[in-house]
Structure 1
Amino acid sequence: MLPGRGRDGRAARLQRILGTRTAWTAVGDGEFFCPDCGGDRNYQRLTGRRRFTVLGLPVLPRGDCGPAVECAACLRHYGTDVLDHPTTTRFAAMLRDAVHTVALAVLATSGTCSRTALRTAAGAVRAAGYDCAEEQLDALVRALAADTGRFYGEPCGPGLAIELHEALDPLAPHLAAAGRESILLQGARIALADGPYTPAERDVLATVGAALTIPAEDVTRLLAAARTPS
């Protein structure tokens, strides 16, 4: 059989004659984390209209399509759910806020808010990207206590639990298990810096674990592991 004849040949000729084309219209833009590029990139949010074509010319509407997100760098299209992933810059800020909030929560429930605990907390906060001294943390904890009427050693009340969930809930889906456990362990080390866990510290660390979607049995395991010298 000669090339271009038969069923495959007829299908190829038909595809050259008949087809569809999508005309995209930009309706917004911004910055997002591009999965293909592996970093933060600009994007355009697009809506599209399909048209039936004959010999490459649009003749009949075929309905709307999209919306879609187009990366300005690689030009790939993604579903709009890609915008749910935080940018690298936003993710770093969320992580800093999470570590800072956990450190303050543990210090606020500590029985003493000792210098050793403050030093450990300040080290964790600085490692997360905040330029924070021990004195600043101490002042923040005391200001929180004055503002809320809290006393050291109190269990994790509704207000503190809400603050923890507000800081940790948006972050948890974007962290691997090891990352979520690392935040909990940082809180545990702050609590242990001045002695064994108090009941209030265990309570606040259990709240941290729940907000990070760590199963309760794993929280218990991690808190025990943090007590064991490495």
Structure 2
Amino acid sequence: MRPARGQNGTNLSTGPQPGFRPRLWSTRTQWHTVGDGEFFCPDCGGDRNYQRRTGRRRLAVLGMPLVARGTTGPVVECAACLGHFGTETLDHPTTTRFSAMLRDAVHTVALAVLAAGGTSSRTVTGTAVATVRAAGFEDCTEDQLVALIEALAADTGRFLADPVDDTDPCGAALAIELHEALEPLAPHLAPAGRESILLQGARIALADGPYSPAEREVLSTVGGALSLCADDTARLLAAAARTPS
């Protein structure tokens, strides 16, 4: 007599099948949660909750864990798909964090270019405001940007357009700000994305005419902080200068 089967052809009998041999031993992992949070899940393709877990391997005999076989992990376990990933996955920013980093990067570049070229041109400040708003600061105004530039000048004692000497045309304070805002972002951007940030700064600088030496130096610093080589930075700046506004 043939065993009963379900609609999809699966065996519905509960007894052992001919030829079935139970495994006498196997290795099992007992997982323990040591932390949690939110991360960008590579398999889900979006922000998900995770558990950071460590495991202890044991040799199981007839399904009963008996002998310790060492530890494993830590791993990051997605709460949605239950996939396991290396802890380096947590280095990738969440979508929310990435958006904030990108917005702050554009804002910092705009400030650096304005500080280098000055704020006397309404065309320049208007272009800067439009750029910053498009990046996510929708309530940004010209007065806000000018006030920030004035605060920077008061803090450093000078504008970037008035360098102390030829060895520091970018200004140490704002150069540090540029590197802090751009370097963590660069590894997570495609080349086109890094170039786009540089070109947004270039369009602000070109709004009132050719680059000034201070503007060009600031934009070169932007390119370096975005992991663009000097030749690529120079090429992009030259191309932007040739493009009609």
Taking structure 2 as the reference length, the TM-score comes to 0.86
Paired with 2:142 and 2:178, the residues of 1 have a C-alpha distance of 21
Corresponding residue for residue 200 of structure 2: 186
Paired with 2:146 and 2:20, the residues of 1 have a C-alpha distance of 77
Paired with 1:13 and 1:62, the residues of 2 have a C-alpha distance of 27
Paired with 2:181 and 2:52, the residues of 1 have a C-alpha distance of 28
Letter matched to residue 156 of structure 2: T
Paired with 1:145 and 1:79, the residues of 2 have a C-alpha distance of 45
Give runs of aligned pairs for residues 59-208 of structure 1, distance below 5 A.
Answer: 59-131=66-138, 132-151=140-159, 153-154=161-162, 155-208=169-222
Deviation string, structure 1 residues 123-150 (Cα, Å, up to 9, x no partner): 1111110121122111111121122111
Q: In structure 2, the residue corresponding to 1:136 is in which secondary structure?
A: helix
Unaligned runs of 5+ in 2: 1-18, 163-168
Paired with 2:196 and 2:78, the residues of 1 have a C-alpha distance of 33
Unaligned runs of 5+ in 1: 1-11
The structure with the greater share of residues assigned to helix is 1
Paired with 1:14 and 1:150, the residues of 2 have a C-alpha distance of 82
Deviation string, structure 1 residues 45-73 (Cα, Å, up to 9, x no partner): 00000000111111100001000000000
Q: Retained in 2: the 8 A contact 1:112–1:152?
A: no
Corresponding residue for residue 9 of structure 2: none
Paired with 1:188 and 1:204, the residues of 2 have a C-alpha distance of 10
Q: Which has the larger radius of gyration?
A: 2
In percent, how many aligned pairs have the same letter?
Answer: 72
Taking structure 1 as the reference length, the TM-score comes to 0.91
Paired with 2:80 and 2:124, the residues of 1 have a C-alpha distance of 46
Q: Which runs of 4+ in 1 moved over 3 A?
A: 12-15
Query: What's the C-alpha RMSD, in Å, of the aligned pairs?
Result: 1.5
